[in-house]
Amino acid sequence: MYVADSRGTPAPAVTTEPAVAPGISPGRRAALAPTVIALGTVSLITDVSSEMVTAVLPLYLVAGLGLSPLGFGLLDGIYNGVSALVRLAGGHLGDRFRRHKLLAGLGYGLSALCKPLLLLAHTLPAIGAVLALDRTGKGLRTAPRDALISLASTPENRGRAFGAHRAMDTAGALIGPVLAFVILRGAADGYDAVFTVSSCVAALGVLVLVLFVPRHTGAGPTAAPGSVPDVDAAVARPSLRASVHLLRRPALRRISVCALLLGLCTVSDAFVFLLLQRTTGIADRWFALLPLGTAAAFFLLALPLGRLADRIGRRRVFLGGHLALLLAYGLLLTGSAAPALPYAVLLLHGAFYAATDGVLMAAAAGTVPEEHRGAGLALVQTGQALARFLCSIAFGAAWTAWGARPALITAAVLLAASTAVCARLRPDEADDENTDHESADDGSPAAATAAH
């Protein structure tokens, strides 16, 4: 694995680490950066841990504690809002102190701490508080982690790096529930055993992060080879203002507008699964498996579509992903009872995630200078998350007012229009290759200060 101690000094021994320094273009077949593999492993392990809990939580509340789990949905929405704000903070603080790894570690650590706390929480509000803390950890770590991935890969390999990371992440989500139910089979009512094993797995994830993810301090214009990182940090600390002013960068602004616009027409997963079940009449007992279908498609397609994005352009793949979603809406609207329809919808839904989730980050990374990477990615992610949240509320209201079908038709029309607008907006990777070293080019005072 990557030797963290040699960070900043491109030692000949670490040839597999694609150089982050500008101007060095490694071969197209270069292996994935060890940092990306390490972060992917951390995400995989952490997702195993958290999905173990998610999978047994309803069962635990009803069968284990005798509580009604209704009403959780409402709390869930509030937590998501908190998570979006924490994400902005995580991205900014990671940049400010040049400590993406530390911030990500704090986030992973906070979530890991929540797993043993579940052993102590026996009431709905207490469990809700633990889950809120868990989400805070998730919010805190996401932007710094994506910043680390983008900083560890070269611009031309970024789609593949994010694709590999998302595939590993989703693999964890697929393994977690299986592990949880295997434990419950071995030990009837063994929810505490599930939570204990989940704690151990989470701790392992944090340890892998601490041991094997290098503390990237940014190898941008300010980092002289071999310099002491702490001194660097003291020199260039992006202010909050600078982070906010990131939106003055036209390329980032275009990407953010596209993410927002398309996010506003992205019907939330729960609705998609509900519509799928209603239109096709899938038996109730398969309902809980529908998300696994999407996850499986996401897992299989994330890396290939990430690579494709590197080759033919991230914008094309990103928009293609939304066309896949549009097609999925279209299939739902046909109301056909064809046996292949659920598979096709789930495949398209998973393809939508594979073509957009990591690809958006890869594209956004190209529009933000390294010293603002965390805050820049956080802005795009938060914008997208809030847009999807709004869409979810609006879709629910439309369903109530007009019924499911007209609501979906509206969403499909808006999605088609937004995709067309974004195709014209060209949130292009044309400036992708050079933005990594053009920090001061756009004349924004913030960028100029940061890059001195």
What is the Cα Rg of the chain in Å?
A: 22
Q: Which helix (H) or strand (E) holds 38?
A: helix 34-59
- One of 51, 232, 357, 432 touching another protein (CB under 8 A): 51
Kindly give the residue spans of alpha helices, DSSP state H, lying in 269-340: 269-280, 290-312, 314-334
70 binds another protein (CB under 8 A): yes
Q: Which is nearer to another protein, 158 or 353 (CB)?
A: 353
Q: Is the CB of residue 319 less than 8 Å from the CB of residue 423?
A: yes
Please report, as residue ranges, which positions from 163 to 192 form the binding site for another protein (by CB under 8 A): 173, 176-178, 181-190, 192
Please report, as residue ranges, which positions from 214 to 233 form the binding site for another protein (by CB under 8 A): none
- CA angle 41/45/49 to nearest 5° reads 165
Q: Which is nearer to another protein, 200 or 425 (CB)?
A: 200
We find the least distance from the C-beta atom of residue 246 to another protein, in angstroms, to be 29
We find the least distance from the C-beta atom of residue 443 to another protein, in angstroms, to be 42
The DSSP output letter for 235 is H
Mask: binding to another protein, 236-275, rule CB under 8 A, as x and -? ---------------------------------xxx-xx-
Stretch that binds another protein, among 73-81, 147-155, 220-228, 435-443 (CB under 8 A): 73-81
3-state secondary structure 365-412: HCCCCHHHHHHHHHHHHHHHHHHHHHHHHHHHHHHHHHCHHHHHHHHH
Q: Is the CB of residue 201 less than 8 Å from the CB of residue 48?
A: yes
Please report, as residue ranges, which positions from 311 to 370 form the binding site for another protein (by CB under 8 A): none
Please report, as residue ranges, which positions from 282 to 321 form the binding site for another protein (by CB under 8 A): 283-285, 287-292, 294-295
Give dist(CA 381, CA 159) in Å, integer.
Answer: 16
Stretch that binds another protein, among 102-110, 119-127, 152-160, 366-374 (CB under 8 A): 119-127
Q: Which is nearer to another protein, 318 or 353 (CB)?
A: 353
Q: Is the CB of residue 405 less than 8 Å from the CB of residue 333?
A: yes
- One of 396, 431, 441, 449 touching another protein (CB under 8 A): 396
